[in-house]
C-alpha cells in the first residue's frame, strides 16, 4: 500500500488491484479489532478513539482511517529510517568505527543519519492563499512538494552538508516534519532507534553489510524511501 502513498513512480494495473485488496484487508482487520475493543477496551489508541468518538466528532469510518494512518505513519517510516541509518553508517568510511568506539555520540549520530537519508522524502501541503517563494507564484489550491532531502542539505543551514558529522549540534533537519504537523511519533521512533542501535553496538562489534546479498533500494514510492532487501552480517 505504501508504494502508492504520495504517488507511485511506476506501477502496473495488477499491482493496483493488489494494493486495493490490501487496503480492504486492512479495513476488515480494523472493523473486527474495533468490535473487539468495544467489548474489551484496553489502554490503547483505538480504545481511546472509540471511547471519545462523540467528543472528537468521529464517525466509525474516520476511526478506521485514523487507525490505518497511524499504522502506516508509524511502521513503514521507522523500519525504513532504521535501514537508511544503518546503510549510511556501514558504507561511509570510518563512521561505524567512530560510533562503536564512542556510543555517547549516539543521539547526535542518529540526528545526523536521519538528516542525510530521510525515510520520508516529501512533505505535501495545499496552499490556502496566494504567495510567492523566490520568483515562483503559488496560487490557492496549489499542491506543494517539500523535499526533505533538499531542506536537510541546505548549505545556508548546514555547514558542509554532504559530510556526516556526529559532532553536529543544533541539527535542524526536517526528517520528522516541521511546525503544527510535526511527527506525533518522533519521540517513540527516536527511542526505538536508540535502543536498537545500543543493542547493535553492544552485541555486534563486527556488524557489516552482507557480502553476497547486496542491499536493494526501493524505488516505487515518491514519499517513502528505504530498502526492499537489506541483509547484515554479524561476524
Contact residues toward ligand HEM (CB under 6 A) are 70, 73-74, 77-78, 81, 119-120, 123, 175-177, 181, 183-185, 188-189
- Least distance to ligand HEM from the beta carbon of 184, Å? 4
- Going 26 to 225 to 148 to 87, the CA torsion angle's sign is positive
Q: What is the dihedral of CA 119, 121, 122, 123, to 10 degrees?
A: 30
8-state DSSP, 175: T
Nearest residue (CB) to ligand HEM, 99 versus 223: 223
Residue 46: Cβ within 10 Å count: 20
- Least distance to ligand HEM from the beta carbon of 232, Å? 19
- Least distance to ligand HEM from the beta carbon of 2, Å? 13
Nearest residue (CB) to ligand HEM, 31 versus 144: 144
Nearest residue (CB) to ligand HEM, 65 versus 233: 65
- Least distance to ligand HEM from the beta carbon of 82, Å? 7
Nearest residue (CB) to ligand HEM, 77 versus 221: 77
Mapping DSSP to helix (H, G, I), strand (E, B) and coil, where does residue 151 land? helix
**129: which strand partners?**
none
Angle between helix axes 60-91 and 13-39 (nearest 10 degrees) is 120
Nearest residue (CB) to ligand HEM, 161 versus 177: 177
- Least distance to ligand HEM from the beta carbon of 45, Å? 8
Nearest residue (CB) to ligand HEM, 106 versus 233: 106
Q: How far is CA 94 from the centre of its chain?
A: 26
8-state DSSP, 164: -
- Least distance to ligand HEM from the beta carbon of 64, Å? 15
Distance CA 10, CA 12 (A): 7
- Going 50 to 54 to 55 to 56, the CA torsion angle's sign is positive
Q: Which three cell numbers stand for residue 65?
A: 482511517
What residue is closest to ligand HEM based on CB? 185
Amino acid at each position: 500500500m505504501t508504494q502508492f502513498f504520495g504517488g507511485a513512480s511506476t506501477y502496473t494495473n495488477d499491482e493496483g488491484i493488489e494494493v486495493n485488496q490490501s487496503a480492504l484487508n486492512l479495513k476488515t482487520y480494523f472493523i473486527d479489532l474495533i468490535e473487539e475493543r468495544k467489548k474489551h477496551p484496553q489502554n490503547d489508541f483505538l480504545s481511546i478513539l472509540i471511547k471519545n468518538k462523540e467528543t472528537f466528532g468521529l464517525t466509525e469510518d474516520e476511526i478506521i482511517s485514523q487507525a490505518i494512518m497511524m499504522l502506516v505513519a508509524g511502521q513503514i517510516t521507522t523500519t525504513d529510517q532504521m535501514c537508511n541509518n544503518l546503510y549510511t553508517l556501514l558504507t561511509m568510511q570510518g563512521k561505524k568505527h567512530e560510533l562503536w568506539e564512542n556510543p555517547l555520540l549516539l543521539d547526535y549520530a542518529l540526528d545526523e543519519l536521519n538528516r542525510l537519508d530521510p525515510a520520508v522524502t516529501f512533505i505535501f501541503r495545499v496552499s490556502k492563499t496566494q504567495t510567492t517563494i523566490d520568483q515562483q507564484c503559488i496560487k490557492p489550491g496549489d499542491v506543494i512538494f517539500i523535499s526533505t532531502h533538499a531542506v536537510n542539505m541546505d548549505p545556508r543551514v548546514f555547514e558542509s552538508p554532504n559530510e556526516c558529522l556526529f559532532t553536529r549540534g543544533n541539527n535542524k533537519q526536517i526528517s520528522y516534519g516541521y511546525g503544527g504537523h510535526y511527527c506525533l511519533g518522533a519521540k517513540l521512533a527516536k527511542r526505538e532507534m536508540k535502543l536498537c542501535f545500543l543493542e547493535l553496538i553492544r552485541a555486534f562489534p563486527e556488524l557489516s553489510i552482507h557480502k553476497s546479498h547486496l542491499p536493494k533500494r526501493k524505488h516505487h514510492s515518491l514519499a517513502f524511501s528505504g530498502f526492499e532487501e537489506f541483509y547484515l552480517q554479524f561476524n
